[in-house]
């Protein structure tokens, strides 16, 4: 086989570049005005704003949660937590309405421990979540869906 060397002369190289390989003076325009319809394709992809912010809780003063009006058993639980080592995350006690009654939900600091749900008189109703499965003891499996009127009663301030 015989090889033929391909030789490009300056003229042939210029012809190659000038034909379609490289174009000069190409104009590119970028629109700077917003479309008159509010977006490019005329269809709104962003929902219209709804009502006012509903994330922030509305303060609801209630003498039941004043530290002077707490049931003694609840003050004892709080003191118990203050006497122990600080937990991470901090322990909280929340109140809810659940099945038509006032209940108190006590969180735990960490890891695979049961949370506790107390009746208003301090009796343990169940352990709604936590444990190895994270689903509690199964005695009040509907607590997360059925609870209402959440209020923070106490959080470890340390």
Which is more confident, 103 or 61?
Answer: 103
pLDDT greater than 60 at residue 18: no
Mean pLDDT of the chain: 77
pLDDT digit string (tens) for 109-150? 888 899 999 999 999 999 999 999 999 999 999 999 999 999
Query: CB–CB of 156/89 below 8 Å?
Result: no
Which is more confident, 83 or 3?
Answer: 83
pLDDT of residue 124: 97
pLDDT greater than 90 at residue 34: no
Q: Is the CA virtual torsion 41, 45, 47, 49 positive or negative?
A: negative
User: How is residue 70 written in tokens?
Assistant: 């707490």
pTM of this prediction exceeds 0.75: no
pLDDT digit string (tens) for 87-99? 999 999 999 999 9
3-state SS, residue 101: strand
pLDDT greater than 80 at residue 58: no
pLDDT of residue 101: 96
Query: CB–CB of 143/126 below 8 Å?
Result: yes
Query: CB–CB of 83/76 below 8 Å?
Result: no
Q: Is the CA virtual torsion 23, 27, 30, 36 positive or negative?
A: negative
pLDDT greater than 60 at residue 40: no
Percent composition of the chain: helix, strand, coil (DSSP 3-state, to 5): 20, 20, 60
CA atoms in the 13 A half-sphere facing the CB of 40? 2
pLDDT of residue 111: 82
User: How is residue 146 written in tokens?
Assistant: 């059925």
Model confidence at 57, pLDDT cuts 50, 70, 90, reads very low
> Considering just the CA atoms, what is the radius of gyration of the chain in Å?
35
- Mean pLDDT lowest for which of 47-51, 104-108, 112-116? 47-51
Residue 147: how many CB atoms within 10 A of its CB?
A: 19
Which is more confident, 154 or 52?
Answer: 154
């Amino acid at each position: 086989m015989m090889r033929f060397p391909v030789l490009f002369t300056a003229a042939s190289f210029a012809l190659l570049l000038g034909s379609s390989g490289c174009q000069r003076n190409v104009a590119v325009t970028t629109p700077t005005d917003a479309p008159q319809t509010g977006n490019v394709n005329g269809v709104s992809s962003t929902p219209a704003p709804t009502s006012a912010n509903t994330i922030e809780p509305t303060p609801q003063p209630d003498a039941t949660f004043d530290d002077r009006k707490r049931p003694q058993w609840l003050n004892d639980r709080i003191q118990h937590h203050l006497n122990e080592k600080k937990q991470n995350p901090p322990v909280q006690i929340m109140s809810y309405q659940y099945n038509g009654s006032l209940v108190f939900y006590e969180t735990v600091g960490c890891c695979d421990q049961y949370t506790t749900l107390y009746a208003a008189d301090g009796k343990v109703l169940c352990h709604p979540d936590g444990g190895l499965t994270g689903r509690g003891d199964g005695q009040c499996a509907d607590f997360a869906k059925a609870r209402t009127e959440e209020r923070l009663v106490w959080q470890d301030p340390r």
